[in-house]
Structures are given as C-alpha cells and as structure tokens.
Amino acid sequence: MLCPVQARSSILERSRALNTNRAEAFSDGVFAIAATLLVLELKVPHVEPGGLADALLQRWPSYATYVVSFLTIGIIWVNHHAVMDRINYVNRPLLFLNLVFLMAVAAIPFPTALLADYLQAGHDERLASAVYGVTMSLMGIAFGLIWAYAVLSDDLLHDKIDPDRARRSLLIFTVGSPLYVLAIGVSLLSAELALVIYALLAFFYLFDVLPPLEVREGKHG
C-alpha cells in the first residue's frame, strides 16, 4: 500500500510484511506512552514558603526510579526492534505473545511508582522492589518466548539470519529472565541490592546479543 512496486511480490508476502510493520507501530506507541507516562509520578509538592528545596530533595527516589525506568523501557524498545528486524512476518500466535509482552511493558509505571513511594516512606520497600521484579520477570519471559517462537519456527526467522547462530543466541537472550526472578528473591533481603541488579541488567541489555543480518550464499541476496 505504501509502495506499488511491492505488487511484484506475492500477495501473501505483502500481507505478512504489513503485519510486521503494524505490530511495530502499535508496539512503538505503547513503548513511547509507557515511558512518557512515568513523568506523571513526578508530583509537584505543595509546601509552606521556603520549604520547596527540602521537599524536592526528599523525593529523590522519584527521580531515581524515573531515570531507571525510562532508560529500561528505552533499552527494551531498542531490543524489541532488533528482534522484529530479524523476523519475516508476524502470525497470530506471535501477535498474541507480543500483546502479553506489551502488557508487562505498559504496566512498568505502576511498580516504578510503588518502588519510589516506598523507598521514600522508608518501609515495605522490599515488597515494592519484589513487585518491580515480578513485572520485569514477566516482561523478560514474554520477550524470551517471542524470540524462541521465531527461532524455532519454520519460516518466521528472517532469511538473512543463520538459524544455528539464532538458536545459540537463545541462551544469552533469555538469561535475563532467571536473573530478574533471582532479583525478586534478593528484594526480600535488600531492596538496595535488588536495585543494583536491575541497573546491571539494564546495562547488560545495552549490548546486542542477537545474530546479525548477513548475506549468505545461495539465498536471495
């Protein structure tokens, strides 16, 4: 529809490609909105004259969790596109897995607010940190399932991806999920230590662990 030259390819391919683009457009919307809604947790304090500086400083956990959650959602977005670039088309089961994944991403502002409020309150912060870990674990598991489903299918994986390298990438791509689950347990001992794990996991996902798109012999390129 965007480009009539596509009419040369089969109808099926065209329909499939469109599906992929739209799954990405909807996902991009959810990512952008979830990240931007985080600002609503930054509440304006209402204080007596001269009290604003103290009130703002006291709310440092709000700013810290804003930064961590915004960058985390941003990094997940980068990796989501890296996965989508390596998939030929999106079928109904994959769309549904993607919805479950986005449901966890869209929920991130809630545990973020919970963690900020209870770090500031100075009590129940370990439970709040565990709830954050549960949300991130669900996100990580759904994300791992998306990549595993694509790699293990017959035709979803992009032609330019070496299937063997794709299968080997599964281990490192999905290693985040058990670590997030581990962080839930750590949360119950120390919210601060769990926060360090969350930050390290976000840092780890800065790096691209997926196989590259490459020109292979005897194939389309």
User: Which residues, 84 to 123, sit near a copy of itself by CB under 8 A?
Assistant: 85, 92, 95-96, 99-100, 102-103, 106-107, 109-110, 113-114, 117-118, 121, 123
β partners of residue 157: 87
Residue 59 is a binding residue for a copy of itself (CB under 8 A): no
Q: Amino acid letter at 154?
A: D
Q: Amino acid letter at 4?
A: P
Interface with a copy of itself: number of residues (CB under 8 A): 85
Residue 206 is a binding residue for a copy of itself (CB under 8 A): yes
- Residue (50 or 154) nearer to a copy of itself, CB: 50
Residue 77 is a binding residue for a copy of itself (CB under 8 A): yes
- The region of 49-57, 148-156, 176-184, 188-196 touching a copy of itself under the rule CB under 8 A is 49-57
User: Which residues, 137 to 166, sit near a copy of itself by CB under 8 A?
Assistant: 160
Residue 188 is a binding residue for a copy of itself (CB under 8 A): no
The sign of the CA dihedral 150, 153, 158, 160 is: positive
CB of 202 to a copy of itself, least distance (A): 11
Cα(184)–Cα(179) distance, integer angstroms: 9
Residue 199 is a binding residue for a copy of itself (CB under 8 A): no
CB of 9 to a copy of itself, least distance (A): 6
End-to-end Cα, the chain, rounded Å? 24
Instruction: Give the HSE-up count for residue 8: Cα atoms under 13 Å, Cβ half-sphere.
Output: 3
Q: What is the DSSP string of 58-84?
A: HTHHHHHHHHHHHHHHHHHHHHHHHHH
Distances (CA, A) of 32 to 2, 27, 29, 77, 107: 24, 9, 5, 9, 13
Find the helix or strand (DSSP H, E) in which 105 lies.
helix 92-107
User: Which residues, 18 to 37, sit near a copy of itself by CB under 8 A?
Assistant: 18-22, 24-26, 28-37
- Residue (26 or 204) nearer to a copy of itself, CB: 26
- Residue (178 or 214) nearer to a copy of itself, CB: 214
Q: Which of 83, 127, 182, 199 binds a copy of itself (CB under 8 A)?
A: 127
